[in-house]
Amino acid sequence: MPLNLTARFVETVRAKDRREEYRDAEAKGLILRVTPAGVKTWAVLYSHGKRKRRLTLGEFPAIKLAKARELTLQALTDIAQGQDPQGRKLAERRGRVDALSFNRLADIWLENHARVKLKPTAVVEYERMIDADLRPWLGEMAAGLITKQDVILKVRDKIAGRGARVHADHVVGMVSRIYSWAIDEEYVENNPAYKIRKAAAGPSVRDRVLTGEELRSFWAGLDKAEMSEPLRLIFRLALLTGQRRTEVAGMRKCEIKQDDRLWVLPGDRTENGQTIHGRTKNRRDHIVPLTDAAMDVVSKAISLSGESEFVFPSPVRDGRVGHIHGEAVSMAMRRNRKKAFSVPDMRTHDLRRTLRTFLGEQGVPDEVADRVLNHARPGVGNQHYNHAKMLPQVRGALELWAAYVEAACSEEAAKQLASMAA
């Protein structure tokens, strides 16, 4: 149903879980499309013969409501005279679209969308996947001529064939994102990755929890593992805090409040109308109480970091993110989990899951355990929950976990495991 769109509505409207469209009651055919990422795009819907057309006008705030209505009136005037503005635009682009390679489309997407709208750490990961998994197989192909079969055989099945089935699905999902954007921007007309069956068979949720013996083997194995000392400290801190590998690897010195023994990870914030991306997955501030063991790790890492703003600076002088990358952590895990850790199927995220499982077994309330891991809890009330009041409980949960880790990783105290985990 059409709405009487106002400048205030256009400025403040937000989409939650899916893309929303709002029709303007004043300018016939004008719609405002709003995505969960906050992108707002103007378009005109009209008919040309028996075909339905969508003419994209541009994005808000570059185009305000009044200008969008003006452009709509101009388009409707052309349409009334028998013209097809969208068809004309497609015809004008046809020459370069046919010659547009996937490499070029990926570069345009990175430049005009990813680097503008997404977190820098996400952009680095997308660049890595494009370079490693897409350019070698799709790069020189015409972007508009790539088929669903191409994506299945040259992307999904090729990656899954090396045992990385979940990663294969992530890459296919990224192809779909690129093409969804490209369709909106009218570079292509179809999405070859749409509704491709997942390569990962069975449930997608991994439930691997490490035993006390495996924790001890991992902790001791770090000393002989083939990795740098900062990487060893990242793994130890990830175990002791339960935080994500990217959050630990990207720790900044300014986030550490040593007097209060706190690690404060900033969420998203707005400055001068622009969104400044934070460091947490759910984009909300997160406070991690640091136990004595965790503080010891942080202090040692800082002593090795020199003048860098990061606790774990990148050893590469021109590194794109300035700190050790999360993928470097995963690579170190894959390289050492069998030989050094003696846990062949171990993944870094298993440390986080093991902590959460332990807290549940110890009777720690879900709201406290979820706060330890910065898991967003459902419900409007939880969105406004005063997390600061839970710091004592969160600290207590992490102290309990630190005691268990100490027992699990100590040969002398190994006998305590049974009673603590019971």
Q: Kindly indicate the confidence band of residue 95, based on its pLDDT and cuts at 50, 70 and 90.
A: low
> Residue 164 gets which letter from DSSP?
-
Q: Of 139, 152, 323, 156, which is closest to residue 247 (Cα–Cα)?
A: 323
Spatial distance between the Cα atoms of 70 and 62, rounded to a whole number of angstroms: 14
Spatial distance between the Cα atoms of 109 and 182, rounded to a whole number of angstroms: 8
Are both 148 and 291 inside the same structural domain?
A: no
Domain with residue 47: its CATH number is 3.30.160.390
The two structure tokens encoding residue 225? 């593992």
Is 301:312 a contact under the CB 8 Å cutoff? yes
Average pLDDT for residues 387-403, to the nearest whole number?
86
With a cut of 80, say whether residue 65 has pLDDT above it.
Answer: yes
With a cut of 50, say whether residue 13 has pLDDT above it.
Answer: yes
Considering only residues 95 and 417, tell me which one the structure prediction assigns the higher pLDDT: 95
Among 30, 52, 84, residue at a domain's last position = 84
Q: Is residue 379 domain-resident?
A: yes
Considering only residues 112 and 380, tell me which one the structure prediction assigns the higher pLDDT: 112
Q: Of 256, 106, 84, which is closest to residue 179 (Cα–Cα)?
A: 106
Q: Kindly indicate the confidence band of residue 354, based on its pLDDT and cuts at 50, 70 and 90.
A: very high
Are both 249 and 376 inside the same structural domain?
A: yes
The reported pLDDT for the residue numbered 176 is 94
Are both 306 and 176 inside the same structural domain?
A: no
The reported pLDDT for the residue numbered 195 is 86
Q: Kindly indicate the confidence band of residue 275, based on its pLDDT and cuts at 50, 70 and 90.
A: low
The two structure tokens encoding residue 162? 């090396």
The reported pLDDT for the residue numbered 422 is 47
The reported pLDDT for the residue numbered 203 is 46
Over the stretch 211-249, which tens digit does the pLDDT of each residue have?
989 999 999 999 999 999 999 999 999 999 999 999 999
Are both 226 and 113 inside the same structural domain?
A: no
Q: Is residue 2 domain-resident?
A: no
The reported pLDDT for the residue numbered 102 is 94
Are both 361 and 224 inside the same structural domain?
A: yes
Which stretch of 154-163, 301-310, 343-352 has the lowest confidence by average pLDDT? 154-163
Are both 389 and 337 inside the same structural domain?
A: yes
Are both 260 and 361 inside the same structural domain?
A: yes
Spatial distance between the Cα atoms of 191 and 324, rounded to a whole number of angstroms: 35
The reported pLDDT for the residue numbered 420 is 45
Are both 71 and 162 inside the same structural domain?
A: no
Q: Is residue 315 domain-resident?
A: yes
Are both 160 and 280 inside the same structural domain?
A: no
The reported pLDDT for the residue numbered 99 is 67
Q: Is residue 93 domain-resident?
A: no
Are both 153 and 228 inside the same structural domain?
A: no
Q: Of 114, 106, 107, 110, which is closest to residue 146 (Cα–Cα)?
A: 106
The reported pLDDT for the residue numbered 317 is 66
Which stretch of 11-25, 194-208, 223-237, 290-304 has the lowest confidence by average pLDDT? 194-208
Spatial distance between the Cα atoms of 43 and 30, rounded to a whole number of angstroms: 6
Are both 216 and 249 inside the same structural domain?
A: yes
Which residues contact residue 7 at a Cβ distance below 8 angstroms, ignoring those fewer than 6 apart? 64, 65, 66
The reported pLDDT for the residue numbered 358 is 93
Total number of domains in the chain: 3
Q: Of 57, 89, 82, which is closest to residue 71 (Cα–Cα)?
A: 57
Percent over 70 (pLDDT), the chain: 87
Q: Is residue 1 domain-resident?
A: no
Q: Is residue 201 domain-resident?
A: no
The reported pLDDT for the residue numbered 320 is 64
Q: Is residue 95 domain-resident?
A: no
Considering only residues 376 and 192, tell me which one the structure prediction assigns the higher pLDDT: 192
Among 84, 109, 138, residue at a domain's last position = 84
Q: In this structure, what are the phi and psi dihedrals at residue 293, rounded to the nearest 5 degrees?
A: -65, -40
Edge-to-edge strands, sheet with 262-265: 256-257, 262-265, 286-289
Average pLDDT, the chain: 85
Q: Kindly indicate the confidence band of residue 64, based on its pLDDT and cuts at 50, 70 and 90.
A: very high
The reported pLDDT for the residue numbered 17 is 77
The reported pLDDT for the residue numbered 419 is 47
Percent over 90 (pLDDT), the chain: 50
The reported pLDDT for the residue numbered 418 is 44
With a cut of 90, say whether residue 32 has pLDDT above it.
Answer: yes
With a cut of 90, say whether residue 384 has pLDDT above it.
Answer: no
The reported pLDDT for the residue numbered 108 is 94
| Beta strand 30-34 pairing with 40-48 | antiparallel
Q: Is residue 192 domain-resident?
A: no
Average pLDDT for residues 77-91, to the nearest whole number?
77
Are both 130 and 276 inside the same structural domain?
A: no
Considering only residues 271 and 229, tell me which one the structure prediction assigns the higher pLDDT: 229
- The per-residue b/e assignment along 353-380, b for 16 or more CB within 10 angstroms, e otherwise, is bbbbebbeeeebeeeebbbbbbeeeeee
With a cut of 60, say whether residue 298 has pLDDT above it.
Answer: yes
Residue 128 structural domain: 100-184
